[in-house]
Amino acid sequence: MIVAVRQPPRLAPVETSPVVRREGRQSAEMVLFGLYEISKILNAPVRLESMLASVVNILTSFLAMRRGMIVVIDEIGEPEIVATAGWAGEVKGRPIDSLPQAVIDRIVATQTSLVVQDTATDPLFADTPAAHDPSRVSFVGVPIKDDVKVIGTLSIDRVWDGSTDIRIDEDLRFLAMVANLVGQAVRLHRIVAADRKRLIDERSRLEKALDEKPKPARVRVSIGGIVGDSPSVRRVMETISIVAPSNSTVLLRGESGTGKELFARAIHELSSRKAKPFVKLNCAAVSESVLESELFGHEKGAFTGAIALKPGRFELANGGTLLLDEIGEISTAFQSKLLRVLQEGEFERVGGTRTLKVDVRLICATNRDLEAAVAKGDFRADLYYRINVVPVFLPPLRERPGDIPLLARAFLDRFNRENSRRLNITDKALDLLGKCYFPGNVRELENCVRRTATLSRSDTIRREDFACAHGECLSATLWTGAHHVTADEQLTALKRGEVLVPGLRPPVPLPPTARPHDSVAYAEPQAESPLCEHAGPDCPAIGHRAGEKERLIDAMEKSGWVQAKAARILGLTPRQIGYALKKHRVELKRF
């Protein structure tokens, strides 16, 4: 017999005994406690399937039931989630097979509760294991609603053994309240899941749109007057573009001829001080006595020949930028005078007593190893720390061979403008230049191009027009000792990959081409042996630096790659060792 109940039956008020009232209070307390425990489960941050399974399991503690089931249906009425309790080992197959689809459809269609007192005799359970159960089993099911829409069912069954006093109306009320809580939880989870899916779909759509959208080309920092597209030059220009807007002191480091003054002017032009003066001074070009007057100025009559007041470079650069080139060449006595103005921004003119205060952005440049000079006491450590705020290392030309053709064409264009000519240069001529070490860096390359352009007899500079193609390169003879070796002998040795060292026979094998040892491969491959190589042991491009790096690596290997031990071997400080490792791009070995 099937009973469809839309609401719990109204019971007429009757006079109850104290025992009945006490049992009623205990039942009410049990219901409240059960709802409290179920609400805690439904508020837990767990998956919906696990949450519903916990709800069904806890129902066994509050109801005289054998098995329970929660079925959540999807939009088309098919079971989406099935949570059960008490089915394991009792029913073969899936638990949902024991609950006929017709029962679920009846509850969903009528939106009311369903009570079956004996499942064995009810047609709805005819094709289920319940029809063959020897025990008398009753079924109670209630709808799970989301507002007015049924989204599932909550059902239990129990075995009637005649010894338990069970009230169907109380079970229906309790299950209806539980179903209401479950409906709210399912609705909330579905809202969250829908939002999550919407966000994921939106993110996927945006990512797909970004992938399909043409990616802009990599923005390269361009600074007027600086020619170069190699990775090392791009890194320097990116660093300068970051440093320039600040007022931090910059120390430009690099070999002679790498363009330190050009990069210093670029820092000034990219800063907020570009409308103010850019003043420069080569500290190595003047004596110590004159240097003080040049930097700080002098009063009239301060010394013989001081016929008028003269402002110094610090005054002239007030509000702007001051470049102190070759700062490593100043004496230790003058370094202390310079330190004050760098720290306080105050100084007095030579022969004056009035303290002047200036606001100057300082850029220093040097090709010396300041760390070694500090260790020897030739350079003050406090001044070193004051100027070495933002060090920028300028790469030598041999570490950027790909820029040589660009620079050569730029120098040739400048020569044409200055001399009203229209010279061109061939690719083979550029290939020849790309094989030189250029110990003098960009300055030497410019001189080489200008010299060849000046002596050119046609409008096209060819490979044969360069002196090194005939073994007459002055730089090559300087560093290979050609005053003892004829040009023909030297050229023949270079073609064999050898170098003739003065006073030494037989020829010495040519050292490998100096190239950076980092992971960025930016040197173009060379198809033929280089013809113009400054390869002598005294060549500053490879001789001295190669030996310095070899000594550094040898000391590190002897010390087990412990920088402190290597510093003691070389008589340096650990900080200097760290700088040397960075300068020569030596990768540390870990053991």
Answer positive or negative: Cα dihedral of 562, 565, 568, 574: positive
What would the CATH number be for the domain defined by 398-541? 1.10.8.60
Q: What CA–CA distance (Å, rounded) separates 152 from 145?
A: 7
pLDDT, position 3: 35
Please give the structure tokens belonging to residue 242: 């970051």
DSSP 188-212: HHHHHHHHHHHHHHHHHHHHHHHHH
Higher per-residue pLDDT: 155 or 515: 155
Q: What CA–CA distance (Å, rounded) separates 53 from 209?
A: 41
| The Cα angle at residue 260 between residues 255 and 264, in degrees rounded to 5 | 160
Please give the structure tokens belonging to residue 52: 């519903």
Over residues 187-214, mean pLDDT: 81
489 and 500 Cβ atoms separated by less than 8 Å:
yes
pLDDT, position 509: 40
pLDDT, one tens digit per residue, over 434-465 is: 888 788 889 899 999 999 999 998 999 999 88
pLDDT, one tens digit per residue, over 275-288 is: 999 999 999 888 88
Q: For tokens 């310095």, name the residue.
A: 548
pLDDT, position 290: 87
pLDDT, position 539: 60
250 and 342 Cβ atoms separated by less than 8 Å:
no
Query: Could you count the other beta carbons within 10 Å of the beta carbon of residue 207?
Result: 10
Query: What's the full length of the chain, in residues?
Result: 591
pLDDT, position 544: 45
Max mean pLDDT among 108-117, 405-414, 471-480, 514-523 falls in 405-414
Q: Is the model's pLDDT at 233 over the cut of 70?
A: yes
Q: What is the DSSP letter of 588?
A: P
pLDDT, position 502: 41
Q: What CA–CA distance (Å, rounded) separates 132 from 135?
A: 9
Q: What CA–CA distance (Å, rounded) separates 158 from 138?
A: 5
pLDDT, position 557: 82
pLDDT, position 174: 87
pLDDT, position 418: 93
297 and 311 Cβ atoms separated by less than 8 Å:
yes
For the stretch 139-142, contacts whose Cβ atoms lie closer than 8 Å and that sit 24 or more positions apart, written own/partner, are 139/103, 139/114, 139/115, 140/113, 140/114, 140/115, 140/116, 140/168, 140/171, 140/172, 140/175, 141/103, 141/107, 141/113, 141/114, 141/115, 142/107, 142/113, 142/114, 142/172, 142/175, 142/176, 142/179
Confidence of residue 222 (pLDDT cuts 50, 70, 90): low
pLDDT, position 282: 92
The mean predicted confidence, pLDDT, of the chain is 77
* CATH level 3 topology of 231-395: Rossmann fold (3.40.50)
pLDDT, position 10: 38
pLDDT, position 482: 40
Q: What is the DSSP letter of 397?
A: G
- Which of 277, 268, 214, 221 minimizes the C-alpha distance to 246? 268
- Which of 461, 395, 474 minimizes the C-alpha distance to 432? 461
In the chain, domain spans: 2-10+18-192, 231-395, 398-541, 546-583
Q: What CA–CA distance (Å, rounded) separates 116 from 142?
A: 12
User: How far lies 571's CA from each of 162, 380, 385, 552, 578, in Å?
Assistant: 101, 18, 21, 11, 14
Higher per-residue pLDDT: 372 or 219: 372
> In this predicted structure, which of 58-62, 172-176, 420-424, 430-434 has the lowest mean pLDDT?
58-62
Over residues 206-226, mean pLDDT: 63
Over residues 374-401, mean pLDDT: 90
- Which of 183, 233, 163, 196 minimizes the C-alpha distance to 402? 233
**Two domains, one topology: 2-10+18-192 and 231-395:** no
Whether a cis peptide bond, with omega within 30° of 0, leads into 506 is yes
Confidence of residue 571 (pLDDT cuts 50, 70, 90): confident
Contacts of residue 57, defined as CB under 8 A and 6 or more positions apart, other chains included, come to 85
Q: Is the model's pLDDT at 481 over the cut of 60?
A: no
Q: Rounded to two decimals, what is the model's pTM?
A: 0.50
Q: Position 39: which residue type? A: S
pLDDT, position 164: 57
HSE on the CB side for 387, CA within 13 Å? 27
Higher per-residue pLDDT: 521 or 471: 471
129 backbone dihedrals φ, ψ, rounded to 5°: -60, -20
* CATH level 3 topology of 2-10+18-192: Beta-Lactamase (3.30.450)
Q: For tokens 């945006």, name the residue.
A: 206
HSE on the CB side for 360, CA within 13 Å? 30
pLDDT, one tens digit per residue, over 132-168 is: 666 788 888 899 988 888 989 998 888 876 655 667 7
Over residues 55-77, mean pLDDT: 84
> In this predicted structure, which of 139-148, 219-228, 575-584 has the lowest mean pLDDT?
219-228
Ramachandran bin of 341, using left for φ above 0, alpha for ψ from -120 to 50, beta for the remaining angles: alpha
pLDDT, one tens digit per residue, over 11-65 is: 334 344 443 344 445 567 777 888 888 888 888 878 888 888 888 888 888 787 8
124 and 100 Cβ atoms separated by less than 8 Å:
yes
Three-state SS across 452-496?
HHHHCCCCEECHHHCHHHHCCCHHHHHHHCCCCCCHHHHHHHHHC
pLDDT, position 476: 65
